Structure 1
Amino acid sequence: METKKSRKSNFITVSIIALVGIILIFSSFYTYWNSAPAEQTCASCHEISSRVTSLSHSAHREVSCKECHGTALSNGLHSLKEKAMMVIGHLKGKKPDEVRMNEEQYLAVMESCARCHTSEYAKWKSGGHSANYSHIFLDEKHNSVEQLNYDCLRCHGMFYENSIDELVDNKSTKGPWNLMDKKKATQPTMPCSACHSIHVDGEIAQIPDYANPSEIFYNRDGKTPEVSFYVRSEKIHVPVDLLSKPNITHEGKNIMVSDDPMMRNCVQCHAPNTFHVSATSDDRTPRGVHEGLSCMACHEPHSNDAKNSCIKCHPSISNCNLDVTTMNTTYANTDSPNNIHWVSCTDCHTDGSKKSVFAQNCICTEQNNPDTQ
């Protein structure tokens, strides 16, 4: 006759065997899922298959999905719950036409970007595009002049899922202003994904043909920029080579705009007014002595630093016999009336006389400027 003690012992034994079995089954499935090709795992769900296909044509084709998106256990219970809800939704028939990440997930992916692209991430962190929600939406100087509105989120908060009404408690030009969700304060408004999609078409960098030196530099095939602009209203990334070249006017005439497709990305946010007039709204399209230049000719990628921009093109002494870095422009002095983006010769040489103009408008001395002597 089975005793109470033996029944308890049998129950414990069976429980241990069942637990070990569950662990083995789960471990085997988890190991398979993380080692099998994406076509047999992620792409097996039709909602994800298009993303896997696009990844196979990108420069990240050799990077596995989990390297960027993590696994069900990457972030403990949080990611386990998130993935479980996706499976439950799938089984219930809630199958979206296209799977899209929310802002929290985009920011999580950005941490994955930083692991590989450490230099680019550090430069982005040091530049203006790393501004967070507090920097942008609690700026008293800006908010008192321009009223907060929906269009702010087109560039500053592309992945924010709600409206401006749910972001800031006051949209008038009279403060104070406060973020309704305090967690947003330190979150970046322009993360990596604002200009980059890891699924965009692109080629893996190749070692050049050292047997043909000319192929390394002069005759090397051009590489399509792997940059894209995220359109908040459509929730899609548009590659820069598919963006329209901007048409900018000054005094009723079209100005020359660079053919650099990267500049088309810049002008999406740094855009002129409805009539495309140069220097209106946030437009910084070069004109004057810099007409035709691309933004990237002066600004470093990711950091947007333009500190060394002059030396890239100019000798130390210009045609005016002056160091261009000390001329009376916003490059040398932010309070200068001569904006470096559209400064022209006539801004200083108003009457054709170098002597009078140099003395009045240029940051120089008679000792280093022979024309004023």
Structure 2
Amino acid sequence: MWRDIDWTNPVTRWKLLFASLVGCIVVFGGGYGVLSITNSPSFCSSCHEMAPEYTTYTASAHNQISCVQCHIKPGVTNMLTHKVKSMKEVYYHVTGVPKQIVQTEEEAVSNENCLQCHSKNRLVTASGDLKVNHKGHIEKDIPCITCHAGVVHAKIAARGLNIDSARGEWTEKNAQKLIEEKYVRPNMGTCIDCHDKVNKGEKPWKDVAYTVPPNPEELEKLAEGKNKAASTKPVKEDENTAELAANHDQKTQEIILQAIGKQKTNVKVSMECGTCHKKLKVPRSHKVALWNQQHGSTAVQELNKCVTCHQDSKWVREIPKEDIISLLKLGVKKSHYQPDIKVVKDQSRINKFCSTCHNKRPPGHTKSDQWLTAHSTKALTAEAKSQCFVCHDQKKPKPGSTDTKAPTDVYCEYCHRTGFKSPVKK
């Protein structure tokens, strides 16, 4: 058939050229159309397993840009390579959706994506409170998502809110209850953890796993391996648990002392609050004489204000797992604080800010041998005893007790085994 065609005829050559042109338009136009469709957020939302990611995206400040502007590095080659790799997602969709969608280390959002829109020369954050040298961080190859991991999806993977059993709950209405501001903004615990590691000569961001949420499937395999290894060994209680907890508390308290300027260290990055917080001010109440000895009464009345800054949970980098049903039922409610000495006492025991000072022997206790014979006069009234009970328990806590653990293992009935006399009234 092809041999019978007269290729010397100009009309024939023009027909071939026209047919080739039409073919190219169909092929390339169709390919461009496929790329355009698969690059749109609506295409991402067509799969039900992407409901949590799409819902958080539409509720975020980045909802005017497409998903691929963040998740695919700039460039045609990167685009085509990503499309080929994404065929496995189609396979998963057909054969069995993963229990949880997580970003892999290979596909972590790069600084190149962020710098398409954002300037690296910013020194002050949008809130105006923080001084952050973005250029210095970027030149050290620190990924933007190390700090800004939750800016679009509110860290739903780390919180465990995008698992298969929860995907039906991700509606536009529910998103407002599930996307908490503290998960959208940078986590101060990440700043503290990273700066502390830098001061020890480490560069934690060099490991992509430091930034990307752990893959639950890999964690399950790791757990299975540990369980198999443990089953071959005799079962015994971990003797190092208490020691590790004590070391963690000590490390936290050392960092807190640096932050409030009570402990000066020769470091690469200052850990003091004023290093990054531009508008940080010491409250007027803190500047009065003998504040260290008198702040307890203020804490009882204004504990909710105290924990705005003095809340060690903000210093933790790890994101706790949450239950989506509980979040939807309770929502984010602001509780009204009622002055309560028991609440303050419990807070002084578990809060690392408080225990930084409260776990040390007060100056008034003098030497042990003198204090043992003289302390009874300091605890004559119920009010005086209540001050002692901030640190000490009257009885030794029972094993498995749910009561807040005292910061000391010295309890009254260790010596007073026959009880106490009635408190003297004023």
Q: Does TM, scored on the shorter chain, surpass 0.5?
A: no
TM-score (normalised: structure 2)? 0.35
Question: Which of these two proteins has the greater Rg computed from alpha carbons?
Answer: 2
Q: Structure with the greater relative contact order (CA < 8 A, sep ≥ 6): 1 or 2? A: 2
